[in-house]
Amino acid sequence: MHPALRLPLILVLTLSWAAAGFASPDDDTPRPANLRLASVAAAVGPLGADSVTYAKHAGEVLSIASITKLMTAMVVLDSGRPLDEWVTVVERDEKAPNNAYSRIRIGSQLKRGDLIRIALMSSENRAAYVLSRDYPGGREAFVDAMNAKARSLGMNDTRFVDSSGLSPENRSTASDLLKMVRAAFGYERIREYSTTAYFRARFRKPRYSLSYGNTNPLVKGSRWDVNLSKTGYLREAGRCLVMVTRIDGEDMAMVLLDSFGTRTPLGDAGRVKRWMTTGDGGRVAGAALRYERKRTEALQQALTASN
């Protein structure tokens, strides 16, 4: 072979890796194929852009449980009603579709801002319900406002039927929720309330107080810089998590839907972070992986049947 046709070994290997679809040894660009998540659906993207860094079944419509409460908070804040105004806690006017246990006493009062805070940070269902009942026009008008807000954000595959997320009929896609998270981040109060680690709510008529902790342990740790957070769970929805966190100096929005076990979406968040910083997508525990496969198969069968 003519010497001029001899290529350096490293260049030959680089070309071979590129042809096979792999990164070269010096290329640490995250490859979607390297990331394995336990969540059935996911979407990840930079906060300040419309682009998507990673997507998995992001267009499939799923139950979203208490992720709903981010929209609830936006609608209440959009109304412009005073956050320091006392709101009376009322009984539900219909049976909840799922367990709606709450420690809050019927007839007592809490400030509107505190109701939003505990609905976001601790996923307090009665607080979310009271916020909808207190809205001008009542609960029906509130749900209409939620759906109107979703349409304004381009969330075309989203439908809300209640403010708490207790109904499995609150449904959306990971792609739509990525839009919602980006919009919610624009509200200073939502950023503050949703990432409050601990809070003591002080009620009146009668006077008493209740302590609340954040349902996302990552907001309490020093290894994460979480700037917005919401968890969710229903049997129909699995474990869900949306949040905004800073990775390598950039705010990234994550949507993780339908996973197994309380810590599984936290593990997925860690896998996303590691994947973005090192290219390594990590591994999923056996039980979580079996759950993901079972739920994905059921989803695919339902889609086939509907077609």
Catalytic residue positions? 66, 69, 123
User: DSSP characters for 227-264?
Assistant: EEEEEEEETTTEEEEEEEEEETTEEEEEEEEEESSTTH
Comparing C-alpha atoms, which of 163, 14, 177, 195 is closest to residue 75? 163
What distance in Å separates the CA atoms of residue 180 and residue 95, rounded to the nearest whole number?
28
242 forms beta bridges with 230, 255
DSSP one-letter code for 22: P
CA of residue 215 relative to chain centroid, distance: 12
151 forms beta bridges with none
User: DSSP characters for 75-136?
Assistant: HHHHTT--TTSEEE----SS--SS-----SPTT-EEEHHHHHHHHHHS--HHHHHHHHHTST
Strand, helix or coil for residue 212: strand
The sign one gets for the Cα dihedral 75, 76, 82, 83 is negative
What distance in Å separates the CA atoms of residue 163 and residue 68, rounded to the nearest whole number?
7
43 forms beta bridges with 55, 255
Cβ–Cβ < 8 Å for 44, 52: yes
Residue 300's contacts (CB-CB under 8 Å, 6 or more residues apart) are none
Interior CA angle at 261 toward 165 and 240, to 5°?
35
